[in-house]
Amino acid sequence: MRKYKAYCFDLDGTVYKGLKPVPEAKEFIDYLQQQGIEPFFVTNNAKMTSIQVQSKLHKIGIEAKSDHIMTSAIATARYVSEHFDHKNVKVLGDDGLRQALSEVGMKIVDHNPDVLVQGMNTEITYQMLADACYAIENGAAFVATNGDLKFPTEYGFAPGNGAMAELIHNVTDIAPIYIGKPAPYMLEIIQQQFHLQKEEMLMIGDNYDTDILAGIHYGIDTLHVNTGVTRTKEVLAKDRPPTYAIDSLREWIE
Ligand SMILES: [Mg+2]
């Protein structure tokens, strides 16, 4: 296999599953770090700050550098600060998103926002959804951290952020700008921040529709692992398959 400078790992289903590590991924990360290669972590999860992601990884024995952790909240904050001149944002999201927006100098307001920024919020109420719709109907732009419609839990599939965003879309007739994978914004920020060439980057993930497509859209190599959402067989049958499809990262340890 080829060597890369930037190994960009998805988290859930790739590095861990819930609270448990994926052992082969942990071994592969150890193997990279022994060679002085610090991996990147790229997650659509907008609830956690990079410090919270770092501490979750620490609990499963992985030491990650906080500036190598990219969440859809961080990328969304950067996108909003670069694309809108007016800085008043209304947030329908959690701590990770609020903190990321404050850090780039956005002002969080309740009324008359320029942008409605929507991210996963498990405390969401009918009133919050209605207020988000009113803000957009009154002219606020609509940006959402990620479009994942559902995610697996021990009880079954639960509504993901995209399910809430699409509800607002249906009411307002305004489609959100989605920032998380499969959009390439998070990979683009990593490339710019660390002055990488696209040939030096590899996106590693379990989900074809988010991880692998993000890499394909951005034009970097992709590696699919069979430890999560999409099975290898399905991935190989796609029109645009990943660069590599393997069972687990153990196959990549020499
Ligand atoms: Mg995943």
| Rounded Cα–Cα distance for residues 55 and 58 (Å) | 5
| Distance from the alpha carbon of residue 116 to the mean position of ligand 1, in angstroms | 26
| Distance from the alpha carbon of residue 214 to the mean position of ligand 1, in angstroms | 12
CB proximity list for 221: less than 8 A, separation 6 or greater: 2, 4, 199, 201, 202, 203, 215, 243, 244
| Distance from the alpha carbon of residue 194 to the mean position of ligand 1, in angstroms | 23
| Distance from the alpha carbon of residue 56 to the mean position of ligand 1, in angstroms | 15
| Distance from the alpha carbon of residue 133 to the mean position of ligand 1, in angstroms | 30
| Distance from the alpha carbon of residue 9 to the mean position of ligand 1, in angstroms | 9
| Distance from the alpha carbon of residue 24 to the mean position of ligand 1, in angstroms | 15
In the chain, % of residues over pLDDT 90? 87
| Distance from the alpha carbon of residue 44 to the mean position of ligand 1, in angstroms | 9
pLDDT at residue 27, as a whole number: 96
| Distance from the alpha carbon of residue 230 to the mean position of ligand 1, in angstroms | 9
| Distance from the alpha carbon of residue 80 to the mean position of ligand 1, in angstroms | 25
Query: 211 vs 11, 12, 39, 130, 242, CA distance in Å?
Result: 10, 11, 16, 31, 10
pLDDT tens profile 118-151: 999 999 999 999 999 999 999 999 999 999 998 8
| Distance from the alpha carbon of residue 2 to the mean position of ligand 1, in angstroms | 23
| Rounded Cα–Cα distance for residues 66 and 70 (Å) | 9
| Rounded Cα–Cα distance for residues 45 and 247 (Å) | 24
What is the Cα 91 distance to its own chain's centre?
18
pLDDT at residue 96, as a whole number: 86
* Mean model confidence pLDDT for the chain: 95
Q: Tokens standing for 187?
A: 């990979």
Domains, the chain, ordered by start: 6-44+181-252 (3.40.50.1000), 78-178 (3.40.50.1000)
| Residue list, CB under 5 A from ion ligand 1 | 10, 12-13, 206-207, 228
Q: Tokens standing for 214?
A: 């993000």
Strands 150-153 and 107-108: unpaired
| Distance from the alpha carbon of residue 229 to the mean position of ligand 1, in angstroms | 7
pLDDT tens profile 1-20: 789 999 999 999 999 988 89
| Rounded Cα–Cα distance for residues 142 and 120 (Å) | 14
pLDDT tens profile 35-66: 999 999 999 999 889 999 999 999 999 999 99
pLDDT tens profile 154-180: 788 899 999 999 999 999 999 999 999
| Rounded Cα–Cα distance for residues 143 and 72 (Å) | 11
Query: 186 vs 31, 240, 248, CA distance in Å?
Result: 24, 21, 24
Strand boundaries in the chain, DSSP class E: 6-9, 16-17, 20-21, 40-43, 69-71, 88-92, 107-108, 115-118, 141-144, 150-153, 156-159, 177-178, 201-205, 221-225, 244-246
| Distance from the alpha carbon of residue 224 to the mean position of ligand 1, in angstroms | 10
